[in-house]
Structure formats: C-alpha cells, structure tokens
Structure 1
Amino acid sequence: MKRLILFISLVAVTKILAAQDRVTGKSFATRSEVIAQHGMVATSQPLATQVGLDILRRGGNAVDAAIAANAMLGLVEPTGNGIGGDLFAIIWDAKTKKLYGLNASGRSPGALKLSYFLENGIKKIPAHGPLPVSVPGCVDGWFEMHQKFGVMSMADILQPTIDYANEGFPVSELIAHYMQLSGGFLSKFDGFKETYMPNGHMPKKGEIFKNPFLANTLTEIAKGGRDAFYRGAIAKTIAKYMKEQGGFLSYKDLASHKSEWVQPVSTNYRGYDVWELPPNGQGIAALQILNILEGYDIKSMNFGSLEYVHTFTEAKKLAYEDRARFYADMDFNQVPVDRLISKEYARERSAMIRPDRAARSFPSGNLRDGDTIYLTVADKDGNMVSLIQSNFRGMGSGMTPTGLGFVLQDRGQLFSLEKGHFNVYEPNKRPFHTIIPAFITKDGKPWISFGLMGGAMQPQGHVQIVVNLIDFGMNLQEAGDAPRMQHLGSSQPTGEKMTNGGTLYLEDGFDYEVVRGLMRKGHKVSWANGAYGGYQAIMWDDENGVYYGASESRKDGQAAGY
C-alpha cells in the first residue's frame, strides 16, 4: 500500500510539474543554483573558479579574485582567452555604490595602412597569421582594475597560475576538444608547437599539461608590473617575433597602449536597469533588442512559443543592421549611442516588424546624430565584477611569440576594408569587438552580474537571459540552462549585407510545431550545430544577504561560493 501511495504521489507531482511547464514554458533539464553568504565565483573552468575563491578566502576582494581567475583561465582555457587578447569589465564598487566600465581593448598597428590591403588585393582581413594582430590589452586591463580597486599584491594574485603553469594541470573535456581542433591549423606557425604541443600533440582530456613559458612571463609581470609586458623584454620579444613573421605590430604600438575607463550605458527593461559598455563593443545591441521587445507582452507569449521566437528574431535583425553600420571605435566616429538605445527609436524600428512574415532584409536606422571566456566574482563587502576576455577566434591568430607561452589575438579581423565605413581599418584604431560584459541593477542596487560567450551570439544571449529572468520568471540557473536560439546572417560591421533573411538556429528543446510555424512565416530554420554560449552569473539577494551563483552545462564551468 505504501508503494502504491508513493507511486500515486510521484505521478501527481509529475503532473503538477508538467502543468507548471505548460504555464511557464519551462521543459528542460536544469539544476539548483549555488547559494553562499561571503563570496561567489563563476567561471568556465573549475580550477579557475577555485583559484578565485582562494583569493577571496585569503582576504582579496572581487577585483583581485577576478584577475586571478582570468590569469588562470589563460592557462587552462587557452582556446578562449589569454594575455595575448583583450578585456572588458563592468565593476560594481560597494563603497561608491556605482558601476565602472573598463575598455581594455588594443589598437591596430600604427605602421599598417588601409592602402596595404587594397594594393595587395586583400578584400577581407584574414583570420590567422600576422595581419589580424592588434595590441593585446588584457594585462594593462588587469593593472588598471587593480590600481583602482585591488587590495592584494599582483604577485600574490598571479602566483596560483604561475604554480599551476609550472606543475601542470589535467586538461578538462571541452577545452581538450577545442585544443585538438586548433592544433590542426595553428601548428604551422612558429612557436605554437613548442608551447602547446611539447609531446608532439595537443593535450587530450585528462592529460597533464604544463606551460613553463607562461609561468616565466607571468613571473616577469608580477615583478615588473604592466610595463614589463608593454615596455620591457616581453614587448621586445613580441615586436621581434612579429617582424620576423611579416607582421606590423611594433614595440612602439605596445609601449603607447592604454586602457580606458568608460561610463556604462543602460536601458530600463520593465523596471530593471540593464547595463552594457558603449562601442567599440556590441553591448548596446542587447539594449536595442530589449527596447523593441518591451513594446510586446512577452510574458503572455510563453517561453519557446512561435510568437516569441519570431518577435525576438525580427528585433535582433533590426538591431544588427545598426550594429553593422554604426558600431566602431568612438575615438574615430560620432556613434549616436543615446539615439540608438532610446525608447523612441525602438518604437520607430519596431513598426517594421510584421507578425506574419520574416523579413529578408532591413534598412539600418536613418540617424543624424567565436571564442571567449566570461567570469564573474562577488565578495563579502558587496563588490561585484563582470569580466570578459578573449583571443577572438579560439586560440587567436596563431602568432606565438618565442618563449612567452601565449598566442596573440586576431581581433583585427573584425575591421571593414570598405572606405567610409565607421569600422574601416585605420592605424591605431580599436576594431569592432564582440565581447561584452553585462550587469543588471534594480532601484539603484546591484542585482545580477552576468555574461556569456560566443561572438555574435552574445547580445542575443544577453537578451534571452534577461527575458528568461524577468518575463518568464526563471531562476538564475534556469535562465542559463534554457534552450537558446541564435540568428546568423545579419549584416556585419565587416561589410557583409543581409539579403536573404539569414538563418535561425535552435538548440534542442523547441517544439516541432514552433519550427513549422517559423518556416511558414518565411524563416530559414536549422538545428544548432554547437553549444551557444558559456553563461556565468551571480545574483545578489538583498533581502537575505546572500549570493546566488550559476554556471551552465555548455562549458566545463563551475559556480562556487563560501
């Protein structure tokens, strides 16, 4: 009888859950959030999470822990980031109760001119080799953050990664997979094999990998500060290597580099302020999409519905037309940010959306005016860091300076070569950037620090997270685990134009009837051929005084607190 009662109870619970799913639209696998009182770290690799957590336990603050975790990720996840790449961050400072934005992206070589590409018949900057290399901004970003907010010494912050680099670590599953892919086409470049293939092959899952070159480089940085990287022997080695490879990045380019503190920009979405950084990144695309969606009753549509997926996709297409035309280095252009993220402009643009039909193309506004890592950290004092860092395409350009232990980014590939374009290649200019950190506040108080990875997926992913949380009532973990959609084929800042409506890619979990409905509206639909993102998030629960952490299963990541 007890077994029968238990069986009936389980059936009843299952039915209740199924009914809830029909109401909320949540019918996917998820797990519990992590909850802790004193601090939280969420990264895409468990060893990096533990390094960040150890820094918090030893008295470091959120900025110290974020730098330590980022340094560690450069070692254990070189397929997404490293000190050869760029960095962006949004920091909530508990003392001043303000958000601070950091643009630590590098500029193009001063000696490389647009004429070089035109005279050599190069119509698009290549993905690998010396030509797409721009100044790596990561290390300067670390020291800018540390100088403004850090409390521990940089030597102590970098020491865990130095130790792991010397002693070795077991390569985790997904990272090993991507390392295998990268090795196949980057091993032809000088210095790559010596750094990443010491045993004649890229490390496999569970294999112990060491990077003593990187340990030495980080030791020099810990001793000599940011100038050791941009003005010392490291800079000279980079410049010499690039010249030997036929590249243009010079010692002068490195020595003149500087990061920039910028004011984050926001839009209010149903009472919540969503914050991004202004261009040269693409963060404001998320704000543009949210402004358009706010004009619709998204909650009543339900998650995964035909109406919601169609409306989201069309809103994305509209925002990405402006992204293609206007997003660029603001030192070279008057980018109309205020107008682009205004509610009035969103209403004008949303009038172009047809509920019954997918657009094959949209005009950009008439205005007068990949791979990556994301991590987030929060500490006992209420400081929170939203940080994203990248080489751009996986392990970057393949340019691996002799004996330094890292690959230089290929971010310069994202310049346009079209004369007159906002994002056209120019010397000493920051390219269009895909990596974007995000933050949400409520009534002037911090709520959620979050982000995810994946090139053009990132603004789309940010919007889906916000909508999942606010419209569909998901918790922090569910919002990241929910099936995602990604529209590709929009016009691009590198010059490509959308003429066929692009393609909507859906992860498993969307109903077949929804797919059929989308196709009837004129969407080209395909199933996702890869994982879309690498979401990490931390939420502050002001009522209970605790942090919630989340890390999704699309990466090797972990959220942990104490």
Structure 2
Amino acid sequence: MKVTCLFLLLAAPILLQAQPVQTQKPPLHGKHWMAITGKPLAATAGAAIFQQGGNAVDAACAMLAATCTMWDVLSWGGETQALIYNPKTGKVIALNALGVAPTGATPAYYRSKGHAFPPEYGPLAAVTPGTPGGICHMLANYGTMSLAQVLAPAIEMAKGYPIEAQTANMIEREKNLIKTWPYSKNVFLTHPGEKREAPEAGEIFVQQDLLATLNKMVEAEREALKKKKSRKEAIMAAYDRFYKGDIAREFVRGSREQGGLITMEDLARWKPIEEEPLHVNYKGIDVYKLQEWTQGPMLLQSLNILENFDLKSMGYNSTAYIHTLYQAMNLAFADRDFYYGDPYFSKTPIKGLLSKEYAKQRAAQLNKTKNDASVAPGDPYPFEGRQNPFLPLLKERNRLFNATPAEQPGNVVPKHDVVAYHDDAAYHDRLWRGTTSVEAADAEGWVVSITPSGGWLPACIAGRTGVGMSQRAQSFVLDSVLNPFNVIAPGKRPRVTLTPSMALKDGKPFLSFAVQGGDTQDQNLLQFFLNMTEFGMTVQQATEAANINSEQLWLSLGGDSIKARLPRPGRLLLHNGTPEKTRKELEGMGYQLDFKPRTSGPINAIYFDRKHGSFWGGSSNHGEDYGIGW
C-alpha cells in the first residue's frame, strides 16, 4: 500500500486537499471486459452476458434493460443515447434513440392548458418511447446474441427482485402523485392503505405487466426464428411488436386514457437514427459527442475555448482554474441555450459553433477578473459562411433577460436577481436530476457509452404495459425567444441533457465516459476529462475528484415558469474541502458559493491502458454506480 500511495503522489502532484490521493473506491481492472452502470445488480447483468460469450454491445443492452426494469431514474418508456466504437471499422457510431413529440403537441396546445413549458410529469410530459427501439437496433446491428439472451436478466428481475432503498424511498416520497395514475398506483404501491405504501428496501418487487411486455417481445423474436428469419430480422420482429403490434395498442390506449397525446401512427413512424457523431481534437485527443439534439457539443465548445489557456500551470481547482472553467462553460451554455435543437427540423449553426476560430473569439470575450453575469449567445454563423437570421431575436432576448426590473414582463425575473431563489431545493433537484449511465468494453475492441433516461419516478405507466412514459417533452420550449431550434412540434425531438462521451487517441479508444445529473452532466464530464489529460489523475481519482458546478444556465428540466428556469449568474457549487483562501478570492470575483461533500458526478468511465493491454474502470463515490471487470 505504501508503494502504491507513493506512486500516486508522484503521478498526481497537483491534487489539492479537497481531492485525497487515496480514492474511496478502488479502481477496477480487467483484461477481457469491463461492465459499469448505475446499480450493482445491473452491472452483474452485464457481467453475466460477458461470461456467456457476449460482446460489449450485448452486455450494454443487458445492463440498459436491467436498469430500466429497476427504475434506476429511468424506465422502458424513456430514451437511449449511445456512442459505439466499432473495432472492425475503427469508427465511432452515434445512436439517436430519442422519442419525438406526439401528434397535437404544439405550443398553442400547451398554452391552452396553462403551461409555460410542457409539464414535468404525467402523460403530457411524454415523447414516444425510444429505449426499446434503441436496444433492438444496437443488438441487431452490433451485438452477437439474441434478444431473449440479453433480456433474460431483466425478465428475471421483472418476476421479482429485491428493491434497493433509493428507489423504494423515492416511491414513498412521491406516492401522492403516483396515486393519480391508476396503473402506476397498482405497480408501485405494494402496501395500499398502510402507513408506508411503497415497498420496503429488500422487498421482492414484482412487475407482472412489464414481465408480460418483455415476454411478448421475446416471443415475437422466437416466432420469427421458427419461420427461418435471420437473427437481425427476428430482433426487429420484437421491435415491430412493441411499436406497431399489441404492445403499442395497449401503450396508446393507456396513455390516452390518462390524457396523453401519443397515437399509433406516432409509434409506427418513429425509428432510431444512426448518425455521425460530432468531435473536436483537444491536444491530440479526439473527443466524440452526440449531435446538437443533446447538450453534448457544449463540452466540445468548452474544450475549444479552454485550449486557448494554460490550464495545467493554473493548478487543479485553483482560483484561476475555477474562474476560467466557469467562464468558459458559461459561454458554451449560452450558445447551447439558444442554438441547440433537433437538426432534422432546422439547420443549426453547429459547424460554426465547433470551429476553432469561433472558440478563439469566445475565449477573447472571457472576463479574466470577475464573473460576467451578462454572458449571452454568440454569433457562430460567420464562421460557417452564413448570415445569422436570428440577430433581431437575440436582441429581443437580451432586452427581456438583461433588463431592469421596471422593464421586465410580468413573468420574467432579471437575470442578475438571484437572491429570491438562493436556497431553492426544487431548483437543485431539477439542475441535478439524475438518470443512469452504461459503460462497456471488451477485448475484441467494442466500446459502448450510453446515457439513457426518461420515465423516471414518479412515472405514469401506460396501461397494462408496465412501461413508464418518458417525461422528456419538458425540455422543449414554447417560445422561440428562448431557443428557436427547440420549440415543440409534432415529430420533433427535444434538446436533451443526455450526453455519453468517448475519446480516441491515435485512432484507438482512450476513454469512454458518462454521468447522470441533468444540466451538470457535461460540466462534470469536462472536468473528469481535464483531470486525466491535464492533471495526470488515474481514472478512479478523476471520477472522485472535487468538481465545480455552474448555475449560470437555463434549466432544461422542470419548472413551469420562466422564473423557475432562469440562469443564476455567479452561483457556484464547490467541494467542502475548498481552501478558505480560494473561497475568499472567488467571492471577491463576484461568485456566490455553495458547498457539498461530494461534487463528482456520479461519473462512470473506462480507460484503455495501451501500455499494458488492459482496462481501468472508474465509478465515482457519489452514488450507487458500480462496475465489474475481468
């Protein structure tokens, strides 16, 4: 142990008191495979698939199915976002399995219901399910096993598994809302009428309706194989049963019975999309993210901006580093909040946003001495040879959200007025609202990074399917002054926070990493990446290291008013161990500080050790995330 500690001290001399050299969790090591996700039981599901001979895609699908069945802040009616490294082609593949707004989902409709944004919960928060289709697509095209094999752990769990305290207690806390939806009430409240109506921790939690749904999908695959269909065709037969057959009919019936909008046509028209990922090169490392229907490019923009500064010389979590990081993220978030959206509906200026020249312009705008409370979206259009059609809208946006109180519309709070909601617990719940992540890799070279979500507790279950409906429609806006690319429309995907990540070095996998946590996801992933590349941390140290969180952004989740979603300029979350000197210096620069004992994620990651031909797995000490390697 002394030798190990000495090595770590030499390898990472820049760690401050807030980041102990000795990690709370040990790093994972493996030669054959690595499986990491949000719950220990789900990681075990991935390990079981690996032990049966499956590849990383098979294992990732099994872990995703298991986490959905465990309601690990998501369910089967949610959405799946994935990056896959294919060792046969040497390419990173992006999978867009995000649902779309249903028929009738227009700004006028939601305003007629009294909403300033689509609601947080219930049938009107739902987009079409994406995860079942995402699993089928990944497995059919890049896996090796049958759907029956990879769903076997989830099916076993649906028959009954010992529910963990986190989920059981969430059900109890949200039981009054759950009672408003009859199918949810029947599934979740296993002790109706008792003082505690939710399951107890360790109780065997049974989901008969979900079990029937999963068995129907496996049955469709089995029948197709009997008809001599190929493995891929058989898996897609299960897909069709979910989106076009009896499962779809019950899902739609149950949704509409409770006031939802999703139709059979919405389900039949939807399909997952395989895309080219976006990427930038940071000091010789190619970092990959999903397209601008996610917030992922925000991390890429931040790296482009930060490349113009000598971060290493500043020192890990020094005052200068924290300030530079915060300001760079604010610039990228300002662009995210106005320019990101579904690229299949309108052409976003993503080429300009990710150009190195635009990043230099934004870096030059960074205030080096104090927090800039008036950071606004930039103009990336000239950097891709176009004229910005939204300059009048940007001017109006600036007038509305940087005005004096006397100039404000009735439902708008000045951007700089943060005192009124200083300790708002609801705000922080929405800022950090979790999901899960899935990381898998194998010796053949397949690598998978997934950030799935949607249908989290308290979930509205659609009929007798056992499937919780997504709540992702809340990430749309109803007014183009907030974001012209993200105004809700039928068939459109919302701009989501979900953001798996991958990095290649010399054309080979270097890191695969993801995290849960709403608008903080790319903040934490950015710092994790810099912890390793700039400050020499091991993958486990980097997952546990003290991060910062900015609140100077528009909330993507929750809050049915402009006031509830407004940025909080200068609000900064720091680790409890931040030195007093750093605190005072930051306060002198205009920051308002909050502190927590853990600020690291929870991040899950795999580092590819080319020198030794092995995997390092990291899973932060923040939550219940867990991994297994072999």
d(CA) in 2 for partners of 1:140, 1:499: 35
Residue 178 of structure 1 deviates from its aligned partner by 3.4
Partner of 1:156: 149
Contact 2:543 2:601 in 1 (8 A): no
Partner of 1:211: 207
Partner of 1:524: 592
Cα distance change of structure 1 residues 499 and 90 upon mapping to structure 2, 3 Å threshold: closer
Partner of 2:170: 178
Q: How does 1:382-461 map to 2 (within 5 A)?
A: 382-391=445-454, 394-395=456-457, 398-419=459-480, 421-461=484-524
Contact 2:250 2:462 in 1 (8 A): yes
Partner of 1:327: 340
Q: Deviations over 1:471-516 (max 9, x none)?
A: 1110010100111211114135697786751411123332232122
Cα distance change of structure 1 residues 194 and 23 upon mapping to structure 2, 3 Å threshold: same
Contact 2:57 2:142 in 1 (8 A): yes
Q: How does 1:273-422 map to 2 (within 5 A)?
A: 273-368=286-381, 369=386, 370-391=433-454, 394-395=456-457, 398-419=459-480, 421-422=484-485
Cα distance change of structure 1 residues 79 and 518 upon mapping to structure 2, 3 Å threshold: same
Residue 133 of structure 1 deviates from its aligned partner by 0.7
Partner of 2:390: none
Structure 2 letter corresponding to 1:127:
E
Cα distance change of structure 1 residues 122 and 38 upon mapping to structure 2, 3 Å threshold: same
Structure 2 letter corresponding to 1:354:
N
d(CA) in 1 for partners of 2:143, 2:350: 31
Q: Deviations over 1:161-209 (max 9, x none)?
A: 111221x222234344434434353332221121112223222332322
TM-score w.r.t. structure 1 length? 0.92
**The one of 183, 191, 205 aligned to 1:199:** 191
Contact 2:35 2:43 in 1 (8 A): yes
1:465 paired to 2:457:
no
Cα distance change of structure 1 residues 516 and 176 upon mapping to structure 2, 3 Å threshold: farther
Partner of 1:132: 125
Contact 1:360 1:498 in 2 (8 A): no
Residue 120 of structure 1 deviates from its aligned partner by 3.9
Structure 2 letter corresponding to 1:139:
P
Cα distance change of structure 1 residues 194 and 310 upon mapping to structure 2, 3 Å threshold: same
Structure 2 letter corresponding to 1:349:
R
Residue 114 of structure 1 deviates from its aligned partner by 2.3
d(CA) in 1 for partners of 2:617, 2:507: 21
Cα distance change of structure 1 residues 44 and 516 upon mapping to structure 2, 3 Å threshold: same
Structure 1 letter corresponding to 2:585:
G
Contact 1:33 1:548 in 2 (8 A): yes
Cα distance change of structure 1 residues 16 and 276 upon mapping to structure 2, 3 Å threshold: closer
Cα distance change of structure 1 residues 59 and 556 upon mapping to structure 2, 3 Å threshold: same
Partner of 1:3: none
Cα distance change of structure 1 residues 532 and 96 upon mapping to structure 2, 3 Å threshold: same
> Unaligned stretches of 5+ in structure 1?
1-8
1:487 paired to 2:550:
yes
Cα distance change of structure 1 residues 382 and 335 upon mapping to structure 2, 3 Å threshold: same
Cα distance change of structure 1 residues 253 and 451 upon mapping to structure 2, 3 Å threshold: same
Using the TM superposition, name which of 90-99 and 533-542 deviates more. Answer: 533-542
Q: Deviations over 1:454-483 (max 9, x none)?
A: 010111111011110001110010100111
d(CA) in 2 for partners of 1:480, 1:500: 26
1:220 paired to 2:216:
yes
Residue 288 of structure 1 deviates from its aligned partner by 0.7
The 3-state SS of whatever aligns with 1:537 is strand
d(CA) in 1 for partners of 2:164, 2:600: 19
The 3-state SS of whatever aligns with 1:547 is strand
Contact 1:486 1:504 in 2 (8 A): yes
Cα distance change of structure 1 residues 301 and 181 upon mapping to structure 2, 3 Å threshold: farther
Partner of 2:429: none
Residue 372 of structure 1 deviates from its aligned partner by 1.1
The 3-state SS of whatever aligns with 2:464 is coil
Contact 2:189 2:198 in 1 (8 A): yes
The 3-state SS of whatever aligns with 1:390 is coil
d(CA) in 1 for partners of 2:84, 2:478: 34
Residue 452 of structure 1 deviates from its aligned partner by 0.4
Residue 418 of structure 1 deviates from its aligned partner by 0.3
d(CA) in 2 for partners of 1:437, 1:259: 16
Q: How does 1:9-88 map to 2 (within 5 A)?
A: 23-25=14-16, 27-28=19-20, 30=23, 31-76=25-70, 78-88=71-81
d(CA) in 1 for partners of 2:8, 2:440: 33
The 3-state SS of whatever aligns with 1:400 is coil
d(CA) in 1 for partners of 2:313, 2:526: 17
d(CA) in 2 for partners of 1:491, 1:72: 32
d(CA) in 2 for partners of 1:262, 1:16: 42
Q: Deviations over 1:137-168 (max 9, x none)?
A: 111111111121111110111012111221x2
Q: Deviations over 1:366-416 (max 9, x none)?
A: 132422110111122111111111016x426x3212222231111001111
d(CA) in 2 for partners of 1:295, 1:62: 37
**The one of 80, 87, 90 aligned to 1:94:** 87
Contact 1:361 1:498 in 2 (8 A): no
Using the TM superposition, name which of 67-76 and 195-204 deviates more. Answer: 195-204
Residue 54 of structure 1 deviates from its aligned partner by 1.0
d(CA) in 2 for partners of 1:492, 1:307: 26
Cα distance change of structure 1 residues 16 and 147 upon mapping to structure 2, 3 Å threshold: closer
Partner of 2:229: none
1:113 paired to 2:176:
no
1:235 paired to 2:242:
no
d(CA) in 2 for partners of 1:16, 1:376: 27
Structure 2 letter corresponding to 1:403:
R
Q: Deviations over 1:68-89 (max 9, x none)?
A: 111111122x141221100011
Cα distance change of structure 1 residues 464 and 193 upon mapping to structure 2, 3 Å threshold: same
Residue 351 of structure 1 deviates from its aligned partner by 1.3
d(CA) in 2 for partners of 1:181, 1:499: 28
Q: Deviations over 1:421-463 (max 9, x none)?
A: 2111111110111111100100111111110000101111110
d(CA) in 2 for partners of 1:146, 1:14: 42
Cα distance change of structure 1 residues 14 and 101 upon mapping to structure 2, 3 Å threshold: closer
Structure 1 letter corresponding to 2:156:
D
Cα distance change of structure 1 residues 189 and 532 upon mapping to structure 2, 3 Å threshold: farther
d(CA) in 1 for partners of 2:178, 2:72: 12
